Amino acid sequence: MPKFDKLARKVLNEFLSVDDPSDWRDISVPAGELESFLENPNTYIIQSPPMKLDTSAETAAKMQDAPWNKVVVSFLASVASDRASVDPNYFGTDKGELDWSSLFRERLHSIFLEVAKSKGGIRDFAYERKKYESQREGCADMYAVKLERRVQIAAAMIQIAQARGNEQQYACWSDILKSLSRLGIAGMSDDEDFDELFDQVDSTRSLEKHLFTGVGRKQLLRIRGQEQVERSPPANLSQSILPPDYLEAMRKGLVTQVEIAAGDDSAIPSLPTPMGDAVID
C-alpha cells in the first residue's frame, strides 16, 4: 500500500471514526447543528474530532454533494496535505501535488453507499458476490504461494536424502511430496486434517538452517581450495607508507634503463626494499 494511502487512512480514522457505516445514526450530524451550518456555511466551524457526516439524503451521490460533507472533505484533505508536506519523499508526493480532495471523496463515497443501503434496507447482492469472489481469489493466491514453497522444500529434502543415501528420509519426503501434489491449491475437505503434515514441512527450514536460508537467494556451497590465490603486487600506493629513499632510488633507476636494455648488467642499481632493512643486489 502506498505511503500516501496509509496517511489518508490514518487521517480518516483520526478525525472520522466510522466502525460500521450501517449504524449511520452514530455518524450523522445532529439536525440542529446542520441547520446552524446551512444558515451560514462560510463562517461555521465544524467541531472535530470526531467529525460527523450529513446522511439526510437518500442516495450516496446526494450525500457526497451535500455542503456539510464537502467541508469535511476539504478539512481532511488540508490535514493530510500538511502532514505529507513534512516529508514529500517518504509519502511519494515529491513528484507532483496529490489530489487529496478526490482521494477523500472516494473514501467517503464508499461510506455513503453503505449508509444508503442500510437506510433503505437494500442489500446489494452483486456487491456481496464480488466481494466474496475477491476474497476467494486472495485466499487462492495465498494457498498457491504456500503450496509452491512446501513443494520446493519437499523436493530439496528428497535430493538431500538421496545424496546422503538415507532411504528412510527419502521415502518419507517422497510421500510428503505426493501428498502435497494430490492436495493442490484446493486443499482438503472439512473431515480431513493435514495440519501435522504441513507443520512438519513448514518447520523444516527452521530446523535445517544449514540447508536453507531465511531470506535472499538460494544458499550456495562454499568451495575451499588448497592453493593460495596469486595476486599482483599493489600499485599506486601512497608515498606516505613507503620509506623516502625507496621512491628516490626508483626514480634513479629510470635513468639507467637504456644501459640495461643494451645488456650492461652493471648499470642495474642496488635498490632498497620497501621495508628499508635490506637491499636487492
Q: Which of 171, 5, 31, 26 is CA-nearest to residue 103?
A: 5
Place of cell 510428503: 176
Give pairs for 67-72: CB < 8 Å, separation 24+: 67/37, 67/38, 67/41, 68/29, 68/34, 68/37, 68/38, 68/41, 69/108, 71/37, 71/41, 71/46, 72/16, 72/46, 72/108
Task: State how beta strands 271-272 and 279-280 pair.
Answer: antiparallel
Please report the pLDDT score of residue 185 as a whole number: 57
In whole angstroms, give the CA distance from residue 136 to residue 130.
10
Crossing angle (nearest 10°) for helices 67-84 and 100-120: 140
Cβ neighbourhood burial of 16 (10 Å; 0-12, 13-18, 19+):
buried
Please report the pLDDT score of residue 280 as a whole number: 46
Place of cell 489530489: 99
pLDDT, tens only, 99-121: 888 888 888 888 888 888 877 65
Cβ neighbour number for residue 281 with a 10 Å cutoff: 6
pLDDT-based confidence at residue 98 (cuts at 50, 70, 90): confident
Provide the b/e sequence for 57-87 (b: ≥16 CB within 10 Å).
beebeebbebebbbbbbebbbebbbeebeee
> Cα dist. 131→104, 121, 124, 135, 161 in Å?
22, 19, 11, 6, 45
Percent of the chain surpassing pLDDT 70: 59
pLDDT, tens only, 117-136: 877 655 555 666 777 777 77
Crossing angle (nearest 10°) for helices 195-202 and 125-164: 60
CB 72 within 8 A of CB 56: no
pLDDT, tens only, 156-190: 889 888 888 888 889 988 988 888 888 765 555 44
Please state, rounded to an integer, the average pLDDT across all residues of the chain.
Answer: 73
pLDDT, tens only, 223-262: 655 556 566 766 776 666 666 676 666 666 555 554 555 5
Q: Which span out of 91-95, 142-146, 263-267 was modeled with the highest average pLDDT?
A: 142-146
**Amino acid identity of 97?**
E
In whole angstroms, give the CA distance from residue 3 to residue 272.
64
Pick 72 or 262 by higher pLDDT.
72
